[in-house]
Structure 1
Amino acid sequence: MNLKKILTLSALALALASCGGGSRDISGERTQAAPLPTIGSSGGALSNVQAKRLFGAKTAGSNQSSAAFGGYAKGCLAGAEQLPETGPTWQAMRLSRNRNWAHPDTIDMVKKLSQFAAQQPGWNGLYVGDLSQPRGGPMLTGHRSHQIGLDADIWMLPPTSLSLSRQDRERISSISMRRAKGAYVNSSWTRAHHEILKAAAKDPRTARIFVFPGAKVQMCDDERGDRSYLRKIRPWYGHHYHFHVRLKCPRGAAGCVDQNPPPAGDGCADARQWQANILNPPKPKPGAKPAPAKPRRELVLADLPAQCKAVLDTK
């Protein structure tokens, strides 16, 4: 490798290290960034660098046509659109994270859902949590998904003000909807929550929505009309401070990998089984030992679709 190339790679390593000098995770605690891995001396020079360090260092979208590459937990996003920090019926929260970027379909979905939410009693619109990073990819902290710009977290907290300052948006938190460890909703749950999740699920672009089991069970119990949308409402761990909308790959999007569709039916029996398991956890078999947790290997650039290198390289 010639001297000019060595100096260029060294400068990149220093820049990435300075960008990753600690950040806040989803609980608000500050985390220390891991040391930058050694840059290879042949082949793809960045192929063995942790992808989260490369994508986390980008502060703006790439100058490309919008495209999602790979899957929700292993991919990247070209030509991302930024959700404006404040709109007529929404505010983006936790602006310091710079995660209010997404595929244009997601931005459009969020705006339209916020307009619907603003028509609900006690709601002025939506507080919008994490979408994706400016170029998607693995995040420095938090989510494993949200990598291709087709995921959006919507706060459960009904907005009473859409003129929050940047400081306010870092300080306030959403509210939990769960009771009994997620088996039931609590008194903060309202019919408006039901209707907003229903509207999100009825958007034909929506693949599924993740929410805690008690909310799905409550929606199953309360729905008296068309139940087909309930198939998209899926019980999942956590998701009681926000719900998570996941869109399908846009039609004709080569290189974007959809998740398998939810099982047929309204999914209510499955949600009630989650509820039962929370209330009466299955007893372990006699003598059974829990399997040791395997440390998760960090994704490197070589793990992602080939298009992701160009997403990083493009200005």
Structure 2
Amino acid sequence: MRLLVLIAASVSVLPLATPARAEPPAKELFGAVTRPADMPSRVLGFYAKGCLAGAEALPVDGPAWQVMRLSRNRAWGHPALINFLEKFAREVPRVNGWPGILVGDIAQPRGGPMKTGHASHQIGLDADVWLTPMPNRPLSRAEREDMAAADMVRDDKLDVSQNWTKGQHALIKAAAQKSQVERIFVNAAIKKALCREATGDRSWLQRVRPMYGHNWHMHIRMACPAGEADCQSQDPVPAGEGCGKELDYWFSDAVLHPRPGGKPKPPMEMSALPNACRAVLNAP
């Protein structure tokens, strides 16, 4: 009996096993990396669940573009997207007379989930282009952080605001007509205005898709580049212009005045990404 008491006493003072520390969410891991992976360029996964090896940075200043919000370090992309943006920007003065474009978020140095702002932009094939014209002068670093983009949508969210002009229409149309572009996301009020104003060949409207937010920019999404076997394509764009009754949902009360609440999704873990993303994350 005495022996049992001694055994019980000794067991009671043993330290409890410490549970293994959970790995931080993927957004924390990818958000902490400041440089691209020193690997050949490679897209891994889907626009909203993947990563990017061998990313290339869009220069912060170009002949017809300036990168905004430099502190975010999100001007990285697949070389095909960077090449597209540089060429497209140079065309803008001929397209609508603007000096150039202001470029917002593209992707992090190694892609992956972001701490704030986006569900997609993970594989270096998404880019936000402001619908505010680039000024005809270099912006300071402070201006690039603090300058507000013009809101293209009215307060009631039913149509475009007075900031909307033919310049924005021409910019979106020119981007949507590019063969490399898979989709362009804009606010439904902007899509409504494009549908109302477009003349002649309207086939480009098919690629312009309504989306929550996107009041101040267009979100350009490139198709998977040739040879990128690990890039997961999005389902084809639905047939038709996407005008008329197809837009009605976006102006319903459920969208314009959503009920508060709803449990947020847990942050994405590394296990949700392609296995090769860990090698990208850990590469020099």
Q: TM-score range by the shorter chain?
A: 0.7 to 0.9
Residue of structure 2 in register with 1:306 after alignment: 275
Among 97, 109, 118, the alignment partner of 1:143 is 118
Letter in 2 for 1:209: I
User: What percent identity do the matched residue pairs reach?
Assistant: 45
Q: Does 1:259 align with 2:234?
A: yes
Q: Does 1:218 align with 2:193?
A: yes
Consecutive unaligned residues of structure 1, counting only runs of 5 or more, are 1-36, 41-47, 285-289
Distance 1:72 1:121, change over 3 A: closer
In 2, Cα distance between the equivalents of 1:279 and 1:51?
31
The CA deviation string for residues 17-39 of structure 1, in whole angstroms up to 9 with x for no partner, is xxxxxxxxxxxxxxxxxxxx964
Letter in 2 for 1:303: A
Deviation at 1:277, TM superposition (A): 2.0
Distance 1:171 1:262, change over 3 A: same
Rg larger for: 2
1:164 aligns to what SS in structure 2? coil
In 1, Cα distance between the equivalents of 2:246 and 2:166?
19
Q: Is the 8 A contact 1:69 1:77 kept in 2?
A: yes
Deviation at 1:155, TM superposition (A): 0.7
The CA deviation string for residues 46-77 of structure 1, in whole angstroms up to 9 with x for no partner, is xx331111111111111111111111111100
Q: TM-score normalised to the size of structure 1?
A: 0.79
Among 177, 193, 217, the alignment partner of 1:242 is 217
Which structure 2 residues correspond to residues 1-315 of structure 1 after superposition, within 5 A? 39=21, 48-121=23-96, 123-270=98-245, 272-274=247-249, 276-277=251-252, 293-315=262-284
Distance 1:91 1:278, change over 3 A: farther
In 2, Cα distance between the equivalents of 1:309 and 1:270?
44
Q: Is the 8 A contact 1:74 1:138 kept in 2?
A: yes
In 2, Cα distance between the equivalents of 1:273 and 1:88?
40
1:203 aligns to what SS in structure 2? coil
Distance 1:264 1:146, change over 3 A: same
In 2, Cα distance between the equivalents of 1:103 and 1:295?
30
Q: Is the 8 A contact 1:122 1:160 kept in 2?
A: no
Q: Is the 8 A contact 2:40 2:53 kept in 1?
A: yes
Letter in 2 for 1:294: K
Q: Is the 8 A contact 2:95 2:174 kept in 1?
A: no
Aligned length: 266
